[in-house]
Amino acid sequence: MTLTQETSAAHQPDSIFTRAPQKQATVITDMEFLRKLMLQLANAPESFGDWHYLMEGTIKGMTKGIGLTQAAILLPDRNRKSLRTVYFEPDEGPLKRLSDMMIPLSAAPLLAHLMNNANTIVLNPQRAEKLLKNTDEQIRRALPEHLFLTSLHAGQQPLGLVLGCSDTDKEMDSRQIATCRQLCNLTNDALLAMRMNRERQLQANRR
């Protein structure tokens, strides 16, 4: 199975608002905060002011709202040859080692794939055996066993990655995964709306 085929088969659970049988109780830490954040992303993306505050809001939504142990956003250098952690919360957690690293995309094929093809992956030890087999050992050791990864984009080529996890060896709750996916989709839509509004403003100023 190719990397593209494997990633396209990644876990794509139902929306948080879809009632579906669960193996265990839903773990959403602050539903009211999350609801307000999602409404702001969907209806008033410009109210964040700029991309910086929007991304900080997304990270806060994954930790304070959804209840993940840690979340991070990785952005590329100018030449798109490597990634570094720019936003993460809290300061300590399973992603700490990764946040201290500059990650060459040539040494991390899965991350390179997500930077070229917008997609969502939920890693577990079994899937990691396939998807991380050509990854640099130091990078691989820095990745938690259970990890949510998705491409961050504004309607164009991915501009970064969003990562989230529970404790290092703890599988994420299925409803948490679904909500992470929904929150990140809203973030991408908000980034697209902000980009389009900025382009319209630039065109208007040129007239």
Percent of the chain with pLDDT over 90: 70
Considering only residues 21 and 41, tell me which one the structure prediction assigns the higher pLDDT. Answer: 41
Given a cut of 50, whether residue 113 has pLDDT beyond it is yes
Instruction: Express each pLDDT in 173-188 by its tens digit.
Output: 899 999 999 999 999 9
pLDDT of residue 11: 40
Contact 63, 89 (CB under 8 A): yes
Distance CA 140, CA 98 (A): 9
pLDDT digits (tens, 9 = 90+) for 66-80: 999 999 999 999 999
**Mean pLDDT throughout 117-137?**
94
- Distance between CA atoms of residues 185 and 30, nearest Å: 19
Helices (H) and strands (E) in the chain, counts: 8, 6
Query: Quick one: average pLDDT of 20-39?
Result: 72
- Helix 174-206 with 31-43: angle, nearest 10 deg: 30
Tokens at 66, concatenated: 């959804």
pLDDT above 60 for 20: no
Q: What is the rounded CA–CA span in Å between residue 135 and residue 98?
A: 13
- The average pLDDT across 20-33 equals 62
Tell me whether strands 120-123 and 147-152 are parallel, antiparallel or unpaired.
Answer: antiparallel
For 179, how many CA atoms within 13 A lie in the half-sphere containing its CB? 29
For CA atoms 164, 142, 92, 24, the dihedral sign is positive
What is the CB neighbour count within 10 angstroms for residue 202?
A: 9
In the predicted model, is pLDDT for residue 200 greater than 90? no
Return the pLDDT at 48.
94
Write down the mean pLDDT value for the chain.
86
